């Protein structure tokens, strides 16, 4: 009788802990799949946003694909200094561009401010 109880107890332990570990592994597998999909989605979104936001509908500034050469000469300038220079030059940097997908306005980023300042220097 005791042997049957020990066997039943052992079988219950195996069933309970065995299935619980299977559920835990399934949960971890679902999390890893979701994380992988999220990583793939964010990287693909970043590349498409960089390519599609080169010129927005209501933007007055065209962004060229040669951002690296423009930024390398002015890496030491902070965004705050660029904003001051834009304000002094009469360039609107705050809420200057309306994103066509969301309809929300955004500030000019570093590259856009550098391009706008360079255009003013070239025209002067």
Total domain count, the chain: 2
Q: Could you tell me if 67 and 47 lie in one domain?
A: no
Q: Could you tell me if 31 and 9 lie in one domain?
A: yes
Give dist(CA 32, CA 41) in Å, integer.
14
Task: For the full predicted model, state whether its pTM sits above 0.75.
Answer: no
Q: Could you tell me if 81 and 124 lie in one domain?
A: yes
Q: Could you tell me if 34 and 86 lie in one domain?
A: no
Determine how many CB atoms are found less than 10 A away from the CB of residue 124. 6
Strands 97-98 and 105-106: antiparallel
Structural domain span for residue 45:
1-52
Q: Could you tell me if 60 and 100 lie in one domain?
A: yes
Q: Could you tell me if 62 and 119 lie in one domain?
A: yes
Could you list the pLDDT tens digit for every one of the 124 residues in the chain? 788 888 999 888 888 888 888 888 888 888 888 888 877 765 544 444 444 444 444 455 555 554 444 444 556 888 899 999 999 999 989 988 888 888 899 999 998 899 999 988 888 7
Using DSSP, state whether 98 is helix, strand or coil: strand
């Amino acid at each position: 009788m005791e042997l049957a109880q020990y066997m039943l107890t052992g079988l219950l332990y195996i069933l309970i802990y065995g299935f619980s570990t299977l559920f835990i592994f399934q949960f971890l597998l679902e999390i890893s799949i979701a994380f992988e999909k999220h990583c793939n989605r964010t990287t693909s979104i970043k590349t498409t946003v960089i390519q599609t936001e080169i010129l927005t509908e209501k933007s007055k500034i065209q962004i060229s694909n040669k951002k690296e050469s423009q930024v390398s000469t002015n890496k030491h300038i902070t965004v705050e200094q660029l904003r001051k220079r834009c304000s002094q030059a009469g360039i609107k940097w705050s809420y200057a561009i309306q994103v066509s997908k969301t309809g929300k306005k955004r500030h000019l980023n570093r590259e856009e401010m550098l391009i706008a300042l360079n255009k003013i220097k070239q025209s002067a």
